[in-house]
Amino acid sequence: MSEPILRVEDLRVSYGRVEAVRGVSFAVEPGALVTLVGANGAGKSSVINAVAGLVRPSGGRITFAGKDITRTPSHKLVGQGLVQVPEGRQILATLTIEENLRMGTWHTGSGAQGAIDGMYDRFPVLAERRALPAGALSGGEQQMLAIARALVARPTVMLMDEPSMGLAPKIVDEVFRVIEEIRASGTTVVLVEQNARRALRAADHGYVLQSGEIVHSGRAAELLADERIVQAYLGVEGGGGDRAGSAGAL
Ligand SMILES: Nc1ncnc2c1ncn2[C@@H]1O[C@H](COP(=O)(O)OP(=O)(O)O)[C@@H](O)[C@H]1O
Ligand SMILES: [Mg+2]
């Protein structure tokens, strides 16, 4: 087994008195697609934001490529190859698509335009509208822009927080296709999703988070095959593009 590219040990995150993350540990192998699933409020964003350097952990340790990054701020991590696609996309609606993409390249120096042009090849819908304000894009297109903006930063590990949120089932399919392509290109992906079944179908390994703690973990296929886990954690909120409760959909 190779050394994990990312290791989270006994992570704790608190907001005042609210203990959102209560001792979470996991490790991610290079090139893997790992998912953290759980209901709204389980602590998924708090975990991923702590890894991305956006919230300060109250305890625990995070290691990326062998280095302790527990207290490393986000902008430094982006330069080191740990890049997040934030929850809710967070594209800048009044800036053009091109300007949004350029923001992803601030640290990459020469070659930035080449990386942006590469995204236009990959996402033709962005190319056609590169000079338009990003706010003119549909929700699904904005998600593609948010992903493209992360990719131009040349991540070795990409953190994605609920990329399927609020999108129609057909668009969710497209987003998952892109996620699987990113992984196939060798980038490690940590995917946070409420759409648990869908995420587990794409992932190698899964962690089920509840009230700030990991309550189940294992190979994604095994989690999906475990009727008790499916019933208890993945049942109704499997929602999204899936027909919840339909065993055949697994
Ligand atoms: N900035 C914040 N201030 C106070 N409480 C927060 C803040 N962000 C999240 N929380 C609380 O922390 C818990 C976990 O939230 P979050 O990490 O966003 O979960 P998830 O992403 O799984 O929905 C929730 O109880 C939420 O209300
Ligand atoms: Mg969240």
Query: Pick from 186, 182, 180, 185: which is nearest to 203 by CA?
Result: 180
Question: What is the whole-number distance in angstroms between the Cα of residue 1 and the centre of ligand 1?
Answer: 34
> What would the pLDDT profile of 8-57 be if each residue is shown by its tens digit?
999 999 999 999 999 999 999 999 999 999 999 999 999 999 999 999 99
Give the whole-angstrom CA distance, residue 243 versus residue 227.
Answer: 16
Based on the number of CB atoms within 10 Å of its own CB, is 186 exposed (0-12), middle (13-18) or buried (19 or more)?
A: exposed
Question: What is the whole-number distance in angstroms between the Cα of residue 86 and the centre of ligand 2?
Answer: 9
Residue 194 token pair: 């409420």
Positive or negative, the CA dihedral 156, 157, 160, 161 is: negative
Please state the domain count of the chain: 1
In a domain, 250, yes or no: no
196-206 residues labelled b (16+ CB within 10 A) or e (exposed): bbbbbbbbbbb
Element (H, E) at 37: strand 33-37
Ligand at shortest distance from the CA of 163: 2
Ligand 1 pocket list (CB less than 6 A): 15, 18, 20, 38, 40-46
Which parts of the chain have pLDDT scores under 70?
1, 235-250
In a domain, 246, yes or no: no
The ligand 1 atom nearest the CA atom of 212: 14
In a domain, 152, yes or no: yes
Question: What is the whole-number distance in angstroms between the Cα of residue 110 and the centre of ligand 1?
Answer: 38
Contact indicator for 70, 60 with CB cutoff of 8 Å: yes
In a domain, 131, yes or no: yes
Question: What is the whole-number distance in angstroms between the Cα of residue 134 and the centre of ligand 1?
Answer: 28
In a domain, 248, yes or no: no
The ligand 1 atom nearest the CA atom of 21: 14
Which of 46, 159, 162, 165 to mutate for ligand 1's pocket (most ligand atoms within 8 Å of CB)?
46
In a domain, 1, yes or no: no
Question: What is the whole-number distance in angstroms between the Cα of residue 35 and the centre of ligand 1?
Answer: 18
The ligand 1 atom nearest the CA atom of 45: 21
In a domain, 228, yes or no: yes
Question: What is the whole-number distance in angstroms between the Cα of residue 116 and the centre of ligand 1?
Answer: 34
In a domain, 127, yes or no: yes
Residue owning the nearest CA to atom 7 of ligand 1: 15
CATH number at residue 165: 3.40.50.300
Domain containing 70 equals 6-239
- How high is the pLDDT of residue 235? 62
Residue owning the nearest CA to atom 14 of ligand 1: 43
